[in-house]
């Protein structure tokens, strides 16, 4: 859940600054070292910027993990909306044929949702 949610958040932030006219690479660099810094911002943020989605962790396995968390959430009668949304995003990503790509390729799903170029 933490990895899936953080990948989604990093992807959203990079698209937000891109659409707003800022350089996503510079914004990523500015965030590193502060409270927003993380291994996901460092490693996966760079993959998103380079559009380098050779799988280190395939999206299909990330989705398997989010599905497991969703099942546990249901068993425990919890409503965890951030995780539910990340699960749905990964599910849509797989439906669009990106399941073999690295899970950082989630940015491609967000690009599709916002009529932004994917390739």
Token look-up 């249901």 returns 74
Give tens-digit pLDDT for 25-42. Answer: 999 999 999 999 999 999
Q: What is the pTM of this model?
A: 0.95
Q: For residues 48, 85, 36 and 114, what is the CA-based torsion angle, rounded to 10 degrees?
A: 50
Structure tokens at 60: 């299909």
For residues 99 and 71, what is the distance between their CA atoms, to the nearest angstrom?
Answer: 20
DSSP string, 57-87: SBHHHHHHHHHHHHHHHHHTT---HHHHHHH
Give tens-digit pLDDT for 76-93. Answer: 999 999 999 999 999 999
Fold of 2-113: 1.10.1040
């Amino acid at each position: 859940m933490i990895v899936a949610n953080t990948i989604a958040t990093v992807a959203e932030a990079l698209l937000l600054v891109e659409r707003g006219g800022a350089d996503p690479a510079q914004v990523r660099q500015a965030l590193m070292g502060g409270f927003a810094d993380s291994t996901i911002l460092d490693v996966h943020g760079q993959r998103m910027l380079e559009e380098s989605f050779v799988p280190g962790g395939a999206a299909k396995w990330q989705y398997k993990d989010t599905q497991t968390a969703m099942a546990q959430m249901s068993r425990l009668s919890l409503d965890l909306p951030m995780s539910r949304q990340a699960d749905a995003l990964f599910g849509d990503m797989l439906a669009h044929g990106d399941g073999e790509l690295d899970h950082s390729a989630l940015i491609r799903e967000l690009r599709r949702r916002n009529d932004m170029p994917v390739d």
